[in-house]
Amino acid sequence: MPSNFKIHIVTSIDEIDPARWDAIANPPADDLAASAMSACESPEGDTLQAASTLQKERFNPFITHAFLKALEDSDSVGGQSGWTPTHVLVEDQQGRLLAAAPTYLKTHSMGEYVFDYGWADAYHRAGLEYYPKVQVSVPFTPATGRRLLVSPDGGEQALQALILGLRSWRAKIDASSLHITFPTKSEWDALGRNGFLQRTGQQFHFINKAYGDFDGFLADLNSRKRKMIKRERKDALAENGIEIELLTGADITEAHWDAFFDFYQDTGSRKWGHPYLTREFFSAIGETMRDHVLLVMAKRRKRYIAGAINFIGKDALYGRNWGCIEEHPFLHFEVCYYQAIEYAITHGLARVEAGAQGEHKLARGYVAVPTYSAHDIADKRFARAIDDFLARERMAVDASLDEYAELAPFKKG
């Protein structure tokens, strides 16, 4: 590593000045959304290519100092959570922050959405310890975004120093592996050039092809899917006397967070055994990030019965968590998918990322797009075996993406 760089490990985001962190996390950028929207509007444009272009993001809420601080202050990470903050920083000799990575020491593989349980099991059967491992990610957040936060002044040298710093930290604490999950495609390519094993996955995103309104989106669908969505929206609301409220900014109160947390706990308990995020987390983001939060709340007989939380970027709406205390047909689709689509169209956002999994999203106007992760395995024998597995897995993911593209619900031609 060049002598003009210094590597630091900090065990709390509070040790970093918020302005310094945010300056490299979301630096001023060119208007990427305009060129991406132009790609989508081209009649010859390929949907997957447009989706890949649209993954560029001028502002990502999840890598802000405020979001990471809310996770730490609320004890959603740290303590006994199995997520210990060990953020890696690169500074120059004058103390300027040139690069950083949101980094955690992990003692399990929960809350990551890139599954390596099989790798851990193989390690243990060989008499080796897979945990702890080093994770560069945003906890509990399967959303693509920058993970190697390099300032415009840092350049390639700062990037190389950051990669070296991450690998050195893994070696120093004798961790089995280093994982960088949901990076951008360009970061994934750079990590591959630096010897990281490359993995792909898939999600379903809504791509806003400059629709004027929700009806414009429906007009782009084939007749059968268009009728299905209209019927589902009608059945979800009118047939059950349910009203929808969209809340952001100062309109979100602690009473709303109380209601939403009840929904979140119900879903989290059924899916994961216990919810990852504490009640204090939602108050924290309500205080520091309220203008970047959209709550979609469903009310029946003057009582909130379901809700979904979304985070607002400059180019994307990120759907995160949902829950309910009453089950109604199609209500999940309305609250999580159709309201998000309508909001993105109304506010000129280029896409909606609706989280992990969910093949059923395809029929509702979402398209399959690739996601990425990169892995550095200490044991070279296991690294070779995993690399072979990943080569075959990438081929399967590519084939799946092609198949989903053929099944997209849009009009042909």
**For helices 65-73 and 18-25, what crossing angle results, to 10°?**
120
Average pLDDT over residues 158-167: 97
CA distance 234 to 330: 9
Report the mean per-residue pLDDT for the chain: 91
**Is a pLDDT exceeding 90 seen at residue 225?**
yes
The residue ranges of every structural domain in the chain are 5-204+369-407, 207-366
* pLDDT given at position 297: 98
Three-state DSSP class for residue 96: coil
Confidence of residue 271 (pLDDT cuts 50, 70, 90): low
Average pLDDT over residues 119-144: 96
Q: Which CATH number is associated with domain 207-366?
A: 3.40.630.30
**Is a pLDDT exceeding 90 seen at residue 49?**
no
Cβ atoms of 72 and 81 closer than 8 Å: no
CA distance 60 to 49: 21
Cβ atoms of 181 and 144 closer than 8 Å: no
Cβ atoms of 100 and 89 closer than 8 Å: yes
- Host H or E run for residue 368: strand 367-377
Confidence of residue 401 (pLDDT cuts 50, 70, 90): very high
**For helices 380-407 and 117-125, what crossing angle results, to 10°?**
160
**Is a pLDDT exceeding 90 seen at residue 272?**
no
Is 207-366 in the same CATH topology as 5-204+369-407?
yes
* pLDDT given at position 270: 61
CA distance 206 to 188: 23
CA distance 116 to 119: 5
Which of the 8 DSSP states describes residue 221? B
**Is a pLDDT exceeding 90 seen at residue 221?**
yes
CA distance 289 to 372: 27
Confidence of residue 57 (pLDDT cuts 50, 70, 90): confident
Quote the tokens at residue 83: 């997520």
Question: Which range is least confidently modeled, 236-240, 317-321, 351-355, 400-404?
Answer: 236-240
List, for residues 99-128, the tens digit of each pLDDT value.
999 999 999 999 999 999 999 999 999 999
Architecture of the 5-204+369-407 domain = 3-Layer(aba) Sandwich (3.40)
* pLDDT given at position 2: 57
